[in-house]
């Protein structure tokens, strides 16, 4: 099912008794964030706040991505890997002749369905507004101020017609100014660098809030640079995103609850933070550029979308698991031996990753390790474990058994020093520079260890069949 906007999705949740409406008056100062975190920890559904102190015009929605089930509902499928696989199958054959082009026309028409489309805006300009008119949250006691926590920053590549739509925390510092916390390897910062190379220091941008949840999911996903995020949202929605062109040339979702049009001023950097982030620690203050607002737009009776991060599992954890499944087929194209992966929730998606491979030649475990470290956000993964294809990467006991029975630390552990690190990682000696730990927990070939790998124990087939009848009896037995 495709939702045209946030309101339609909330109506869908309400019909299924999967929306909690809170009519008590609540504050953006710590209170909403604490309510929302407790809701996520307790597996509660999406929350809709109808009375926000000092912001009578607004409603607020939080806990939109409250579980893997919520991801399934938003994307309309439980087969997340199938989304990418089906898309690849639809474009797998490139037509080279007129006859083959004619045969592929149906496929091309189908692909046209997912392309972005121009549309009239549902929002109107608000002359009297300022950034302080928005109900931004203060989420932790020692945060530097109030922040947009699930607003989307829209920019566009200066050469290609490729839009970047990403979620960055943004600290409010004035009526028309917010500090944008985009990190060195994020798409927004990469786009900014392209403008700087052209000596353009005022980058057209827009801050968008309250969109169709698929667009919000894509904005929070590490879609590789070069792929338009609106197009990727169209793939997940199986229908193109409806967009409206602003006066600064950017296109934004036409059904957004609010839009702030302006630019990021690369000449103006200010101290941002501290902020209680998804690692469960406060990120120290650092300098980032300032977004400067020029125009404001909202829908009637607007709804503001926010989240609160902290120790897992919170909303970012479930978004991460959805991303893991959707992007697995993409990774398999780049690393063909890859079978499955698990980025554990408490590994924080840049801390620990477990990958299984189909190993067929010596050294392939380390080869796969280095290949995966070269892909997108996996380049920030601190600890990587490679196991054989028959190891269940989602069962930690299986993984521990593989570690215990295949690894010689001197031979199979790799440490890479002086490499780019996540700017949020407080464990490194220097900002943006850290190290990596890789463990090859695959069974070793004779070439790797100098002798034949021992044979694993296995029962006799005939005896195994003979004792099968006892398993039912054993399963029924319960210890006192």
My answer on whether 362 and 411 are in the same domain is yes
For 40, phi then psi, to 5°, come to -65, -45
| pLDDT tens-digit series, residues 315-352 | 999 999 999 999 999 999 999 999 999 999 999 989 99
My answer on whether 168 and 265 are in the same domain is yes
My answer on whether 276 and 360 are in the same domain is no
Share of the chain above pLDDT 90, in %: 80
pTM above 0.85, yes or no: yes
My answer on whether 54 and 123 are in the same domain is yes
Cβ contact 386:365 at 8 Å: yes
Average pLDDT, the chain: 92
CA distance 378 to 350: 7
Q: How many CB atoms lie within 10 A of CB 174?
A: 13
| pLDDT tens-digit series, residues 276-290 | 999 999 999 999 999
Owning domain of residue 369 = 335-449
My answer on whether 379 and 428 are in the same domain is yes
Whether residue 319 lies inside any domain: the answer is no
Residue 254 has pLDDT above 60, yes or no: yes
The residue ranges of DSSP E strands in 299-404, in sequence order, are 303-305, 338-342, 352-357, 383-388
| Range with the poorest average pLDDT among 255-269, 363-377, 463-477 | 463-477
Whether residue 246 lies inside any domain: the answer is yes
CATH number for position 363: 3.40.1670.10
Structurally, how many domains does the chain consist of? 2
pLDDT at 110: 58
Average pLDDT over residues 71-80: 93
pLDDT band at 376 (very low <50, low <70, confident <90, very high): confident
My answer on whether 18 and 92 are in the same domain is yes
| pLDDT tens-digit series, residues 203-237 | 999 999 999 999 999 999 988 877 899 999 998 99
From the list 410, 57, 5, 52, the residue with the least C-alpha distance to 237 is 5
My answer on whether 289 and 380 are in the same domain is no
Q: Which residue has the tokens 């956000």?
A: 377
CA distance 341 to 375: 14
My answer on whether 343 and 290 are in the same domain is no
Q: Considering Cα of 62, then 222, then 72, then 5, what sign does the dihedral take? A: positive
pLDDT at 1: 67
Whether residue 170 lies inside any domain: the answer is yes
CA distance 29 to 17: 28
| pLDDT tens-digit series, residues 89-122 | 655 544 444 444 444 444 544 567 888 999 999 9
∠ CA 162-166-172, nearest 5°, is 130
Cβ contact 324:167 at 8 Å: no
Whether residue 112 lies inside any domain: the answer is yes
CA distance 408 to 448: 11
Query: Which alpha helices (H) appear in 129-272, and where do they start and end?
Result: 187-197, 213-219, 229-237
| pLDDT tens-digit series, residues 129-170 | 999 999 999 999 999 999 999 999 999 999 888 899 999 999
From the list 215, 283, 224, the residue with the least C-alpha distance to 253 is 215
∠ CA 14-20-23, nearest 5°, is 115
- Residue 283 DSSP SS3: strand
Strand pairing category for 242-245 and 251-253: antiparallel
My answer on whether 404 and 284 are in the same domain is no
For 63, phi then psi, to 5°, come to 60, 35
The token pair at 32 is 């909403």
My answer on whether 166 and 91 are in the same domain is yes
Q: How many CB atoms lie within 10 A of CB 74?
A: 22
Whether residue 461 lies inside any domain: the answer is no
Q: Quick one: angle between helices 80-90 and 229-237, nearest 10?
A: 110
Q: Which of 177-186, 435-444, 465-474 reaches the highest mean pLDDT?
A: 435-444
Dihedral (Cα; 23, 24, 26, 31), 10-degree rounding: -100
- Residue 8 DSSP SS3: helix
Whether residue 46 lies inside any domain: the answer is yes
Whether residue 314 lies inside any domain: the answer is no
Whether residue 428 lies inside any domain: the answer is yes
My answer on whether 214 and 352 are in the same domain is no
Q: Which residue has the higher pLDDT, 185 or 347?
A: 347
């Amino acid at each position: 099912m495709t939702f045209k906007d946030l309101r339609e999705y909330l109506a869908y949740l309400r019909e299924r008794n999967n929306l909690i409406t809170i009519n008590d008056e609540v504050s953006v100062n710590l209170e909403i964030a604490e309510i929302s975190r407790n809701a996520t920890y307790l597996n509660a559904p999406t929350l809709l706040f109808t009375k926000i102190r000092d912001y009578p015009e607004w409603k607020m929605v939080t806990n939109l991505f409250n579980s893997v089930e919520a991801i399934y509902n938003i994307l309309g499928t439980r087969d997340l890997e199938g989304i990418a696989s089906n898309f690849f199958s639809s474009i797998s054959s490139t037509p080279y002749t007129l006859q083959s082009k004619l045969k592929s026309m149906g496929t091309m028409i189908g692909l046209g369905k997912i392309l972005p489309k121009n549309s009239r805006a549902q929002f109107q300009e608000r002359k009297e507004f300022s950034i302080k008119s928005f109900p931004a949250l203060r989420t932790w006691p020692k945060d530097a101020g109030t922040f947009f926590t699930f607003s989307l920053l829209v920019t566009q590549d200066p050469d290609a017609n490729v839009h970047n739509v990403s979620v960055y925390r943004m600290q409010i510092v004035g009526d028309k100014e917010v500090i944008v916390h985009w990190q060195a390897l994020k798409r927004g910062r990469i786009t900014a660098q392209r403008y700087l190379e052209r000596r353009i220091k005022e980058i057209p941008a827009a801050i968008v809030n309250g969109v169709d949840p698929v667009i919000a999911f894509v904005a929070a996903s590490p879609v590789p640079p070069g792929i338009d995020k609106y197009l990727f949202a169209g793939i997940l929605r199986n229908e193109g995103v409806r967009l409206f062109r602003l006066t600064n040339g950017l296109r934004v979702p036409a059904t957004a609850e609010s839009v702030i049009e302006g630019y990021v001023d690369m000449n103006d950097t200010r101290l941002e933070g501290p902020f209680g982030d998804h690692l469960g620690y406060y990120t120290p203050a650092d300098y980032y550029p300032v977004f400067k607002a020029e125009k404001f737009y909202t829908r009637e009776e607007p709804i503001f979308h926010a989240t609160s991060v902290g120790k897992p599992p919170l909303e970012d954890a479930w978004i991460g698991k959805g991303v893991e499944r959707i992007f697995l087929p993409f990774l398999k194209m780049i690393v063909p031996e890859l079978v499955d992966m698990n980025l554990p929730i408490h590994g924080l998606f840049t801390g620990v990753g477990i990958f299984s491979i189909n190993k067929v030649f010596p050294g392939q475990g380390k080869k796969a390790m280095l290949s995966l470290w070269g892909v997108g956000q996996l380049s920030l993964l601190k600890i990587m474990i490679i196991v054989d294809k028959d190891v269940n990467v989602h069962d930690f006991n299986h993984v521990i058994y593989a570690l215990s029975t295949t690894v010689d630390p001197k031979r199979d552990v790799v440490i890479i020093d002086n490499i780019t690190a996540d700017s949020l990682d407080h464990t490194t000696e220097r900002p943006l520079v850290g190290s990596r730990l890789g463990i090859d927990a695959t069974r070793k070939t004779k070439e790797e260890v100098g002798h034949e790998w021992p044979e694993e124990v296995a029962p006799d087939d005939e005896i195994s069949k003979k004792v099968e009848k006892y398993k039912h009896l054993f399963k029924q037995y319960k210890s006192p």
